[in-house]
Amino acid sequence: MSKQLKVFILSFLGLLAIGAAIALLFFQNEKFEIKKSIPEVGVASAAQDTKAFPVPETATSDLKYNSWYVIKLGNIPIGLVVVGVENQNTGFPLNYTVQFVSRIGSSPLLSVLKGDLTVDESRNYKLQQSLLSNTENGSFKEIQNLWRQEKDGVLQLAKDSGASLLGIIPASLTRAKNKIQLDETSNLFYFSPKETSSKVNKVFIPFIGSFFNLQDVEPKYDDDGFLNFGKIVFEGGAELSFTRITKSKYNDLTKTIAETLIDFGWFSSLTSMKTEFETLKKSLDSCAGRTSSLNSRMIRYLPQSSYLSYRRIINMSHFCLSLNREINQKEQEPYNQKLNIISNSVKALLKENAQELPYFLAYSPDTILYYNDTISFLWPRITSLITQTALNELENNFELDRSRKSLVGIQLNITNLQPRAVVRAQIKLIDSSLNFIIESAKNPNMSLSSLNDVPANIEKSLGTFYLNGQSFAKKMDINFDSMCKINNGKIGIDLGDAPQFAINSDSVRGVWDVQTRIEIARQFAIKSTISKNCSNIYFRVPLSIEKAFSKELDQFKSETLGSENELLLSNNVQKKLWILPGKYRLVVTSLVTGSVMSAQEFSVSSGINTNVTAKIN
C-alpha cells in the first residue's frame, strides 16, 4: 500500500469519527437547540422575554361533553376556552372557562372568566359568571354577574359587577342586543342542538351576556353540536376569532400562548381607520413641532450638550417628519399600503443604537407588534402613543439637565504625549448634594401614613415626606418644589405592597407589580430631580425587590444624570460636557496599553461654568 493511500484512508476515517461525534451531540442531547433571532430587529429590538407568568391552566369541564377553543386576534393567540355540555339534545346545562393572557403596559395579566348556564323544568334560565384577574404577584378582587329569565320573560341582568368579556376588553359592541328572550330561535354561541338549527336567527354569547344577529357572528357548528368557528367584531373592526382545537393542542398552547402579550387597550377603543390615521398625523405634526422647539432650546440653554442628547432628538424628528411626509404622499392609496409605511418606518428607527433613542421607545414591549402583519390595524394607534410618550421623556430630560447640570470644560495637559494625541478618560461622581436613598421597609406593605393627596400650596409640614406610590401613579403633577422646601429638601415615595389596581396615565400603564413600580420610581426620580429644592430623594421599597430598584436607580443616575462618563480626550484640547454639581474622580488610561496614567479628583459648583485642567507628567 502506497504512503499516499495510507494518508488518504486515515484522513477519511478521521472525518467519519468527527461526523459521528457531531451526530451523537444532536441525537443524544435533547436540550440542544439552534437559537434564532427575529429578522430585521436591531439593537433596540422588540424582543419580548417569555416569562413564567401568565400560564393558563389546562382546564376541563365537569360536564359530560367537552370542547376546546383558541381565541385569536389576527394570528396571535390571546385566549383559550373549554366548554362543557351535559345534554346534547338541549345544550343545557352548559358551563365554560375562558382564559385570556394580556398585559397592561408592561404588566402581564391572566384573566379567567367562568360561567354556568342552567334551565329548570319551568323554563327559568340562570347565567352566573365570575371574573378573576391575576397578576404576577397578586389578584384583583373576584367579581360576579348574574342574568335571569323567568318563564315567558326576557333575559335580564340581575347583578352587574363588570364580570363579562367587556370587563377584560372594554370595547364598544353596538350590534349587541339585550333584554331578549332566550328560546328556540336563539343559538348558544358555543353549542347548537340540531333540531333547533332551522329556526335560529340570533346567537346568545354567554360571556358577554348579549344577543347578536346570526350574520354578525358567522358561527359554524360541527355534527356534535359544538361550535367549530365563530367571531366577534368590535366597533372599529377588530375581530376575535374562536376556533375549535383538540385537547392536546389546547394543552400545548397553555405553555406557549404568553410568548406575545398584547395590551387589550390598543384595540378595544379603535375607531374607523380614517380616524386612526387622522389621529396619527396630528401626533406626527405635534412631534415635528416639539422636536424643533426642543432642539432650539437645547442650543440656547444647553450648548455643547452630549452627542446622545442631540441624537435622540434628531432621530425622533427625522422619524416624525419622514413618516408624515410618506403618509401624505400616499393619501389616495389603500390603507394596507400606508400601514406598511408605518411598520417600515418604525423598524428602521429601531435599528438605531438603543442609546440614541428615547429609553421608552427603545425598550417598549409594544414594538414587537410591528412584526406581525395580521394586526396591522393597530399600528397607527400604537405609533401615536409611543411617539408622544417618547417626546414627554425627552422634554423631561431637557428640563432636568437645564435645572440641575453645570457646563464643565475638561482639558488634559500630558507632558510626555504629543498634542492632540488621544487617551481614554473616565469621570465618576463620588459625592453630590443630590442623593438617592433606598429605604428597605421592615413591613413590606405600603404605610398607612403615606400621603394620598398633596395640596397645591403647602404652608406647613404634612407629617411625612413620603407620597403614596399608587396615588402618585394616578396624579404625577404635584408641587415638588413646595413639598421639598417644607421638608428641608426631602421627598420620598412609598412603593410597598398594596391591593392590586390598574394604572393608566400618560407616562405609565400597568398594575401594581415590580416592573410598574420601577417605572413609577423612574418618573418620580425625574420629576423630583428637576426641582432644585429637592436634594434627598427617598424610595421606600420592600426588601424582596430592593435589588431590582437599586439596579434601576444606578442605571438612571448613569444614563440620565450622567454620574458616570467615559470619554476620548485629545491632549491639550478642551472638552465640554454637562454634569451634575459635585465631587468627581477622573481616571486617565492609555488607549494602547490600558494602563492608568493619572487619577485625581475635582469639584463642580452649581450654576457656573467650571474648567478642569489635569496636568500629567
DSSP string, 59-123: ---SSSEEEEEEEEETTEEEEEEEEEES-TTT--SEEEEEEEEEEETTEEEEEEEEEEEEE-TT-
Q: Are residues 287 and 253 in the same domain?
A: no
The Cα 441–Cα 459 span in angstroms is: 29
The three grid cell numbers given for residue 588, joined into one nine-digit string: 486617565
DSSP string, 348-398: HHHTS-GGGS-HHHHH-GGGGGGG-GGGGGGHHHHHHHHHHHHHHHHHHHH
Is the CB of residue 569 less than 8 Å from the CB of residue 412? yes
The dihedral built from the CA positions of residue 556, 594, 354 and 52, taken in this order, carries a sign that is negative
Q: Are residues 379 and 397 in the same domain?
A: yes
At residue 157 the predicted structure's pLDDT band, cuts being 50, 70 and 90, is very high
At residue 194 the predicted structure's pLDDT band, cuts being 50, 70 and 90, is confident
Query: For residue 73, what pLDDT is reported?
Result: 95
Q: Provide the edge-to-edge strand list for the sheet that holds 406-414.
A: 575-579, 406-414, 610-616
Query: For residue 34, what pLDDT is reported?
Result: 28
- Other residues' Cβ atoms within 10 Å of the Cβ of residue 408: 24
Domain containing residue 223? 65-147+164-170+198-267
Q: Are residues 397 and 329 in the same domain?
A: yes
Q: Are residues 502 and 473 in the same domain?
A: yes
3 state SS of 134: strand
Range 121-138 average pLDDT: 92
Residue 475 lies in a domain: yes
The Cα 387–Cα 381 span in angstroms is: 10
Determine the residue type at 537: I
Answer with the one of 216, 240, 267 that is the final residue of a domain. 267
Strand 239-245 relative to strand 227-233, pairing: antiparallel
Q: Are residues 256 and 319 in the same domain?
A: no
Residue 176 lies in a domain: no
3 state SS of 472: helix
Answer with the one of 474, 497, 532 that is the final residue of a domain. 532
The number of residues in the chain equals 617
The Cα 164–Cα 156 span in angstroms is: 14
Residue 357 lies in a domain: yes
**Smallest Cα–Cα separation from 540: which of 511, 563, 517?**
517
CATH of the domain at 330: 1.20.120
Q: Are residues 104 and 118 in the same domain?
A: yes
Q: Which residues sit opposite 144 in a β-bridge?
A: 130
Residue 94 lies in a domain: yes
> Which residue, chain included where needed, has cell 319551568?
122
At 580, which helix (H) or strand (E)? Answer: none
- Other residues' Cβ atoms within 10 Å of the Cβ of residue 592: 7
Residue 52 lies in a domain: no
Q: Are residues 100 and 248 in the same domain?
A: yes
Residue 595 lies in a domain: no
Q: Are residues 277 and 263 in the same domain?
A: no
At 556, which helix (H) or strand (E)? Answer: helix 546-559
Q: Are residues 108 and 212 in the same domain?
A: yes
Query: For residue 37, what pLDDT is reported?
Result: 30
Better-predicted residue by pLDDT, 185 or 241: 241
The Cα 355–Cα 312 span in angstroms is: 8
Residue 27 lies in a domain: no
Q: Are residues 89 and 215 in the same domain?
A: yes
- Residue 455, pLDDT above cutoff 90: no
* pTM strictly above 0.85: no
Range 538-561 average pLDDT: 92
Residue 414 lies in a domain: no
- How many domains does the structure of the chain reveal? 3
Query: For residue 244, what pLDDT is reported?
Result: 98
Residue 30: partners with Cβ closer than 8 Å, 6 or more residues away? none
Range 75-83 average pLDDT: 96
3-state secondary structure 420-450: CCEEEEEEEEEECCCEEEEEEECCCECCCCC
Answer with the one of 220, 239, 267 that is the final residue of a domain. 267
Q: How far apart are the first and last CA of the chain?
A: 73
> Considering the chain, what percentage of its residues have pLDDT values greater than 90?
68
Instruction: Tell me the pLDDT tens digit for each residue of 486-507.
Output: 999 999 999 999 998 888 887 8
Q: Are residues 86 and 138 in the same domain?
A: yes
Q: Are residues 369 and 464 in the same domain?
A: no
Q: Is the peptide bond before 54 cis (omega within 30 degrees of 0)?
A: yes
Least confident of 65-74, 75-84, 469-478: 469-478
The Cα 79–Cα 227 span in angstroms is: 16
